[in-house]
Amino acid sequence: MNKNKNTTRMIVNVAIYAALFIVFDLMQNNMGLLQMPNGGSLGISTVIILLASYQLGYKTGLLVGLISVFLQFLTGPMYIVGILGFMLDYVIGFAVYGLASLFKNYKYFYPGVLISNILRFISVSLSGVYVFGLDWIPSMAYNITYMLPTAIVGMILVPILHERLKTK
Residue 108's CATH number:
1.10.1760.20
Residue 114, domain extent: 2-165
Average pLDDT over the chain reads 92
Say whether pLDDT at 49 is over 90. Answer: yes
Interatomic CA distance for residues 52 and 66, integer angstroms: 12
Band of the pLDDT at 59, cuts 50, 70, 90?
very high
Identity at 6, one-letter amino acid code: N
Alpha helical stretches, state H, 32-135: 46-56, 58-75, 82-86, 92-95, 111-130
Residue 133: predicted pLDDT: 94
Summarize pLDDT for 73-103 with one digit per residue, the tens.
888 778 888 999 999 999 999 999 999 999 9
CA 8 to each of CA 15, 63, 84, 141, 152: distance values in angstroms, whole numbers, following the listed order: 11, 15, 35, 44, 34
Say whether pLDDT at 51 is over 90. Answer: yes
For 42, left (φ over 0), alpha (ψ -120 to 50), or beta?
A: beta
Alpha helical stretches, state H, 32-57: 46-56
pTM score? 0.92
Count of structural domains, the chain? 1
